[in-house]
A and B are shown apart, each in its own frame.
Chain A
Amino acid sequence: MAASKEDDTISITVEFSGGLEMLFSNERKLPLSIPAKDDTGARTNVAYLVNYLCENAMKDPKKELFVLDGTVRPGILVLINDADWELEGEEKYEVQEGDNILFVSTLHGG
């Protein structure tokens, strides 16, 4: 609704489910302020966010449980504002002020 407080950051909410929260100090919900643009001046997309989370929010050293080959590892679903990120352009989706981005690890128990 309102413009972001500072033009150079955007405020979003990142959430983790299905066990991924254990990689992020058991936080299921993370309010975040991230740069609005990356180093090249391009607008921040989900690929940037994933890398940002890995470097700034993830406490667990086992990065490969979240990122593999430069992208979110297989078995993790990314949901942007309650929809499969495939519907939004996957990694290239440009993050908007107020977005909710949920990372869900697929479960296998039964």
Chain B
Amino acid sequence: MKKKNLFYAFCKKHGVVFALLALILAAALLFPEFASYGNVTNILNQNSMIGIISLGMTFVILTGGIDLSVGSLAALSSVLAAVLSPKGSLAIMILVPLAVCTAMGLLSGLIIAKLQIAPFIATLGMMMAARGIALVMTDGGVSVSVDTGVAETFRLFARSYLLRVPAPVWLFVLLLVTGLYIARRTRSGRYVYAVGGNEEAARMMGLQPEKIKIAVYTVNGLLAGLAGLILASRLGAGQPVTCDGWEMTAIAATAIGGTLLSGGRGGLGGTAIGVFIIGVISNMINLQGSLSSWWQSIITGLLLLFVVMLQSHARANGTGSTEIAG
């Protein structure tokens, strides 16, 4: 890409970057613990799961779709890992949940692409179904701990460190870089943008929107499964009722990151920033420590509002487009 283009892209993302910087600055000034090694690692670590999910969500949203099932899939994955743990094989504990979540992602994709059902509905169905399966497997929602035989080794999955940085963070960074590469340097990545930009045109240009959509939801299922595994490893247990609302967090992170929900425009870089904006807000509230639950929601809402206003302002100045919201 040309320099100018990169600069242009950067300008468009300006708003989010500034918002994150502003939040970090504010947090560092308000809370001395904020900048500590422990706290920074916490933020990175805690948000790596949502981060991984948001990467998949970004691709989904870039095609003009949406995936509500990710939270349920992550929960299902954690349950599967725990339920399978008595078998004593790490490979089974990791591969089966990933395979199941990938298959369910594939199923969403097939329903969307082949039956032509709106992604919102198809994945809403998948969200309920996956949650239902997790509940059925656990006798109505009783959480299952990872068998002690493998617990220690499985724990390492989320709790080993490299250069003092926890493994899930590395995983997230690795996936982010891979995602960025796919989005910018591979055909499949570009086709995702094309399908979201104008599906009909993409078809006329000889692309196969169905295939791309199926792929995107399948990958998203896989990533949700991965996040679920990290969760299970962190918790040492499978939890059928956890991760409620993760889909909304992931969608919010994507949208805050500047990806249009109508598809075709945006990218992973912004999403990663969006994830950490949400993460820092939540961390700030915890560090503040004396807000009641309701004030926590209200402050979260206000900070999000601040972020999107900043971003919308930057966008308006950046392109001067008169496009209508929606």
A, B co-complexed: no
Binding site for A on B (CB under 8 A): none
Binding site for B on A (CB under 8 A): none
